[in-house]
Every structure is written in C-alpha cells, then in structure tokens.
Amino acid sequence: MHADPRVSIHPDSKVLMAAIAARLITKLVDVQDKHGEATVVLTGGTVGIGTLKAVADSAAAPAVDWSKVNFWWGDERFVAADSDDRNTRQAHQALLAHLPVDPARVHEPGSSDEFASADDAAADYADRLKAAAEAEHAADMSDTRPEEPGVLPRFDVLLLGVGPDAHVASLFPEQAAIREKNRTVVGVENSPKPPPSRISLTLPAINTAQEIWMVVAGEDKAGAVGLALAGANPVQVPAAGPVGRSRTLWLIDENAASRVPQQLVRKDPAGA
C-alpha cells in the first residue's frame, strides 16, 4: 500500500534546490549506513542540475562516501557524447567532476556516437541495469533476498522533473513510451521537446524506486503539478504516474504550488 504523496513547498527555486540537496545528502548517508552503498537516479532540467550544483557546494557533502554511490539516469537525450544537451554531461559539470566518485559506478546511457538508434541505446541500458541487478542479488546475503534477481537494481532515490506539459523523464503525454508496461527502458522518437530522439526509463521501472522525489519550480509547471496531484490519468498526465515504493515526495516552489490540492500540502522541514 503506497502512502499518499507528500508535498513540501519552498519559497523560491534557490531555496528549493538547497533544500533538496540537503535532503539528498542526508538520505544517501542513511542508506549507506544501512546497505554500505546507495543508488540515486538523476534527472536533468533546471532544478535537477541546480540541485546537483547545490550538493557539490554543500559543506555537508563530504558526509557521503561518494565512492560508494551508484549513479543512473531516468532519461537521456540521444545525441553525441560531448553534446551540452546531455543530462549526463551537465551532471558531470555540476557535481560528478567535483566529487571522488567511482567511475565504474557512473552508468551513463549510450550516445549517438556509440549506437545507431535510440532503441539500440535503450536496449543496452536495460541490459546494464539487469546486470547490476544480478550483481546486487549475488552480493546480497540477507535472509530476505528473493530467489531470483530482478531486472533492475535497488533505486534508493529517483529524482524527476516535470515539464509544463506534465512529462517526466522522456515520457510524454499520449505517446507510446508512457503506455509501455513490459520493458524497463525505451527509445523515444519524435519527442515534442527537442532533441527528438531520447532514451527513458519506463513508468514501471521508475515505480520500483524506494523513494521518488518530484522536483519542480516555476509558475509554468503549476497546471501540470495540480493535475498530477489531483489524480489524473498518467497517459494524459505522465507526472501523475510515479509512485515510490516507500515514499513519493513533491518538492516544489511556491510558483509551482498554486494549484496543489490544499489537503496534500504539508510544509515540512527539510529532511522530514
């Protein structure tokens, strides 16, 4: 049984990004205390990348053992590896280049330099996720280990931005990718937002995450946020679809919050 989404509203985008960064550092430390390592799925966009910069700038960042954090991405633009459009490149510039990460734990979706199509890159990413799940299963000595490995590793925190059209990752309204039920990763063509070719986790894959954090700022997102939290159909409003296994957090600024159902609003302190 999933708990209702929790909505935490911050005065503006700068305060929001600092609060998400503080929350993420605390969460990674907690998960590492429990499991020895932690896995985060990153997102692009203004808030996603701004949050990563805020993590890098935080005095608390060294509390995390960054060499034991696994990094994946919820989606990526299928362009050249050195393109500034790539979420991975922006994440390196904002965060990863400034921390003692283990390059073997940084799992970037393939680029157009490596693969002929977004579908091919998506299949490769799905294979790498499955291999990580199998390795995690083999290393798990607990009594609760399932008999068979899954197709995805444990995602401790998965970050998602929301577009004005309510898209999340590269799952756009009414398109085939948001309807996908079986695959974990899909290639996306004809994206309504350039560039047109992308790679994305599917909604079933996203919803395996322990915690999903929806990170949103800006008045142009208010309609999408309001519809998602009112329980719209994810095919029309993809942002309504993500639900974490243990928690779904909406971390938003005042501008994005103007149409949020009031009964969902809890002005929590960061880290709650």
Residue 211 belongs to what H/E stretch?
A: strand 211-216
Distance CA 78, CA 189 (A): 10
Q: For the chain, what percentages of helix, strand and coil (3-state, to nearest 5) are there?
A: 40, 15, 45
- 265: which DSSP letter? B
pLDDT of the residue at 269: 47
Mean pLDDT (the chain, rounded): 94
Q: What is the mean pLDDT of residues 229-256?
A: 96
pLDDT of the residue at 271: 43
Distance of CA 141 to the CA centre of its chain: 28
pLDDT of the residue at 173: 98
pLDDT digits (tens, 9 = 90+) for 38-91: 999 999 999 999 999 999 999 999 999 999 999 999 999 999 999 999 999 999
Here the tokens at position 169 are: 């990752």
Nearest to 75 by CA among 256, 238, 257, 255: 238
pLDDT digits (tens, 9 = 90+) for 110-145: 999 999 999 999 999 999 999 999 998 888 766 666
Lowest mean pLDDT among 25-29, 236-240, 255-259: 255-259
116-124 own/partner pairs: CB under 8 Å, 24+ apart: 117/78, 117/187, 117/197, 118/78, 118/187, 118/188, 118/189, 118/197, 118/198, 118/199, 119/186, 119/187, 120/187, 121/78, 121/187, 121/199, 122/183, 122/185, 122/186, 122/187, 122/199, 122/200, 123/185
Predicted confidence band of residue 272 (pLDDT cuts 50, 70, 90)? very low
Nearest to 111 by CA among 134, 85, 141: 85
Q: Is 17 exposed, middle or buried (0-12, 13-18, 19+ CB in 10 A)?
A: buried
